[in-house]
Amino acid sequence: MKGQQTPKYMQLKQQIISWIVTAQFKPHDKLPSENEIGKQFEMSRQTVRQALGDLEQEGWLYRAQGKGTFVSDQSAPERKASSQGMTIGMITTHISDYIFPTIVRGVESSLRAVGARLLLASTDNEKEKEKDSLESMLREPLTGLIIEPTKSAEGNPNFNYFMALDALKIPYVMLNERYSDVDAPCLRVDDELGGYRAAEHLIKLGHTRIAGFFKTDDFQGVHRMRGFLRAHREHGLTVPPEYLLRYSTEEKQEKPAQALSLMLQREPEQRPSAIICYNDELAVRMLDIVRQIGLAVPGDLSIVGFDDANLATATEVKLTTVAHPKTEMGADAVELLLSMVEKQQRCQTMDKIYDPQLVIRESTQAPRSYIS
């Protein structure tokens, strides 16, 4: 077990909780004896007893006199298909930032209408926090779960927790993307088509030097980039390697801005006349870079964002962007999940894919060379 700084009994607690939530030990299964656990993990009987005692107090385990220690029933019959007393969990990468509050409001209002309770958790786009969130949710009497995967393009180290959801017959749906190894209904924008339409809009305005900035640790960014490249290919244009910047969540504060700053310091005929950004948050940051260099949007550089967040119209230059359904997606996720609860099924439901609409505002126009 990892984490040398963590007390041994805490390490053991985490291991036993992992056994339970990943359904290696099901409700009312008997755990190995204290001696057996101590031998397996090379721990004293006192350490094992401390861990088991804590888990019993927390409701994970129960003891039967003279028989041993057993797993409590975490799954229970209180999960009902009726709306009364229903508890829906929701795990997103963020809760209070960017477009996520609007998605959450769509979920909240739909659940309030049927008298259901909402449990919220955020992963801050970190795999380890997703694990913790799933573990916490599995301790609750969940009726269903709505989850946005964390860094979906980087694999799913928490696969066992999704197996546990299946074992406990808790239906779940995914927002924005799904992990490639998880078979669950997904509500998402057609991001590849969105990337295509964003690039095509600029190409039709006359831009031939378009740079793309895409966060590629999630599939949204990967698909938006693919659409961007496909539009160039179909219009007979080539994207120079230096015009395509891929970055990770951890690099988002610095790497794209630094790359754009370097691009814009080139001679006018060597620099891009337009850029497409992974989302509006990045596009607004890029507006600042353009200003700092002394250039203008859209006069010197056209910019397209993604998601049509509130940020897109909060600046003096209103952003051209690709819309995200936000509130509608939240409400649709609840409707889909409740239908799965009612039918007691999970995988038979089809994905819901939203058509990406381009919202044209002030940040794009034909390049100066094209106008003249």
The pLDDT tens digits of the residues spanning 275-300 come to: 999 999 999 999 999 999 999 999 99
Sign of the torsion angle spanned by Cα atoms 261, 247, 227, 122: negative
Domain with residue 65: its CATH number is 1.10.10.10
Q: Are 61 and 124 found together in one domain? A: no
Q: Structure tokens of 127?
A: 């795999």
Residue 243, domain extent: 191-324+357-371
Give the global pTM.
0.82
Per DSSP bridges, beta strands 320-323 and 172-175 are unpaired
CA distance 303 to 320: 7
DSSP letter at 33? Answer: P
Report whether pLDDT(79) > 70. Answer: no
Domain with residue 336: its CATH number is 3.40.50.2300
Q: Are 225 and 349 found together in one domain? A: no
Does residue 3 form part of some domain?
Answer: no
pLDDT in tens, 92-138: 999 888 889 999 999 999 999 888 999 999 999 999 999 999 988 98
Q: Are 330 and 183 found together in one domain? A: yes
Number of domains in the chain: 3
Cis? peptide before 27, omega within 30° of 0 = no
Q: Are 208 and 66 found together in one domain? A: no
Report whether pLDDT(77) > 60. Answer: no
Q: Are 118 and 248 found together in one domain? A: no
Q: In the structure, what pLDDT confidence band is assigned to residue 349 with cuts at 50, 70 and 90?
A: low
Does residue 81 form part of some domain?
Answer: no
Buried b (16+ CB within 10 A) or exposed e, 64-84: eeeeebbbbebbeeebeeeee
Report whether pLDDT(202) > 80. Answer: yes
Q: Are 66 and 96 found together in one domain? A: no
